[in-house]
Structure 1
Amino acid sequence: MLRAARAAFAASARLSSGRAPLQCSSVLTQHYHASDDKMQTILEHNKRWSEEKKDSDPSFFYKLSNIQAPEWLWIGCSDSRVPANQLMGLGPGEVFVQRNVGNIVTHHDMNVMSCIEYAVSVLKVRHIIVCGHHNCGAVKAALEMPHTTPSLVNLWIQDIRDTRDRNLEQLRKLEGQAQVNRLAEFNVMRQVFSVCTCPVVQAAWAAEQPLSVHGVIYALEDGRLREVTQPITGLDDLERYAEHKRGVMKHLSGALLTRLQFERQLKRLQTEPDDGAEEAEMGSLIGASTNPLPGPPGEMSP
């Protein structure tokens, strides 16, 4: 066995000194040189940008390095065609940014939840924007990709697929790009609701901290941002929003509205104790608020 191992090692050594591996090494070296050239281009762009900033404002980087005080939190899609600062016409330090595939906000995602917590509790942003966009790849996948496809992206977009399933009646009236764009708007509405029901956002409103949540869609075809929800500035606005969208967003109905009413009633009882009648009303709300939402209907695609 030892002799066989030595023979194999010797054969490997002979191959490593041959021409083929050297040719492979040459190809790899050329590839790395090309990558280096691209990286150097990026560094040159950065140097030029830095110099332009210092020329226009010598104290720009000094001020930027000492404080971060953005007024806006942007929650958007990772799509390279949707750059937050440029779309808003704002510079470095003015927007706190969270991006992911499909601009999804779920309460079990520690990434987005920690971002919202830091933005609201520490930076004290006054506005949260949820921005979706037309021709979104994540939305297309939610419409077309079979739910059994083995893919991390497929797991991630389940929230969009759920929105699709709950709004099939409206979506089936549309085709092609119009259908994709409408689902992208529905997705923004859903994620706005998710932001508004985050504990940190609810706590900020309870403490009367100025905070508005906005839902917008970005149209790639003309570069414009358009509102798909009215600004939500507190629980009253949220309740009206959920009620108003009941006919549009099937998941913003019964159980969620009851949950909002339950939270409102609970806070009132904690601050203004009343008689048994109000407690009985609370009991009925508790039962309704703990009922699960109805399951989604059949899927739109296999």
Structure 2
Amino acid sequence: MEEFSNSEAPTEENKKAAIKRSNSEGTELVVKVPSTQDLIIPLPTKFSDVGENLEELLRMNKIWANAITAQKPDFFAEHAKSQKPHILWIGCSDSRVPAETIVQLGPGEIFVHRNIANQFNHVDLNCLSVLEYAVEHLGVEHIIVCGHYGCGGVAASMTNKQFGIVDNWLCNLKDVYWKNKKLFTSELSEEERNGLLVRLNVKQQVYNISATSIVQRAWASGNKLKVHGWVYDLGTGLLEDIDIGVESEAQLCDQIYRVIS
């Protein structure tokens, strides 16, 4: 068994060489984590690194499960009993924005819903069901809407091109653009226009979530619940809080959206 610890900081070349040796020799490659209080840096393995072999993914899963069990023997047994996440994450389906990975939290810590361009549509029963379960049954205290710069859905919504069924889904984004059209001046570059709509979209989804009877019932019951708006930068790996938090009916974008008297 070949091991790397966080303190060793192996190079990319060493990691790839170790993966190849592990595959050819049938040995296990383990990244040792000294303490749960230390930052966990996942091994950046690509599908191509393992020969695009699904059987290899199953083997890597066993390595992962065994490594977790070695550190905390009762981890999976405890997780099988129940989940108690404090956060509901509504993010984009983009494969480069995995919720748990970018905030370094483990299984059971975040309840996740993802769709194209991280939208919350009031007629989307899937999203509404996720919200209701998270708020009323899991008792989450934070709802994070996370968009990301360079979002393909956002970029597509700012064109007149046809992309298929997704065109209907992107109409909501076009509405956000239309509502804020005066902000999209000719001085803005394409990248700046995209970034602006990414932030405006996150803001709109925060307001959409806050306008639901699900969230307002929680507030009326005295539950601690806040809706946040974040944006992720693919180029730096950093998250940005765009300061659009809503934690009471008084902070709704307009009192016309108040549904609980």
Scaled by the length of structure 1, the TM-score of the pair is: 0.67
Q: Structure 1 residue 108: deviation in Å?
A: 0.2
Q: How does 1:143-162 map to 2 (within 5 A)?
A: 143-146=158-161, 149=162, 151-162=164-175
Identity %: 36
1:124 is paired with a residue whose SS is coil
The one of 129, 135, 138 aligned to 1:120: 135
Are 2:96 and 1:96 aligned?
no
Is the counterpart of residue 142 in structure 1 residue 157 in structure 2? yes
Q: Report the structure number with the largest CA radius of gyration.
A: 1
The counterpart of 2:178, out of the listed 156, 161, 165, is 165
Q: Which whole-Å deviations, capped at 9, do the CAs of 1:3-47 have from their partners, x for residues lacking one?
A: xxxxxxxxxxxxxxxxxxxxxxxxxxxxxxxxx961101111111
1:189 is matched with 203
User: What is the alpha-carbon root mean square deviation over aligned residues?
Assistant: 1.8
1:206 to partner: Cα distance? 0.9
**Stretches of 4+ moved more than 2 A in 1?**
none
Amino acid at match of 1:259: I
- Structure having the higher helix fraction is 1
Q: Deviations over 1:129-151 (max 9, x none)?
A: 000000000000001243xx361
Aligned residues: 211
In structure 2, do the counterparts of structure 1 residues 214 and 37 end up closer, same or farther at CA, with 3 Å as the change threshold?
Answer: closer
Letter in 1 for 2:166: V
Alignment of 1:144-293 (within 5 A): 144-146=159-161, 149=162, 151-172=164-185, 173-238=187-252, 242=253, 257-260=254-257, 263=259, 267=261
* Preserved CA contact (<8 Å) 2:203 2:244: no
Specify every segment of 5 or more residues in structure 2 that has no aligned partner in the other structure, as ranges. 1-50
CA–CA distance in structure 1, aligned partners of residues 175 and 243 of structure 2 = 20
Aligned AA (1:179) = R
Match runs of 1:50-129 below 5 Å: 50-129=65-144
Helix, strand or coil: the match of 2:150? Answer: coil
C-alpha distance 207-227 of structure 1, shift in aligned 2 (>3 A): same
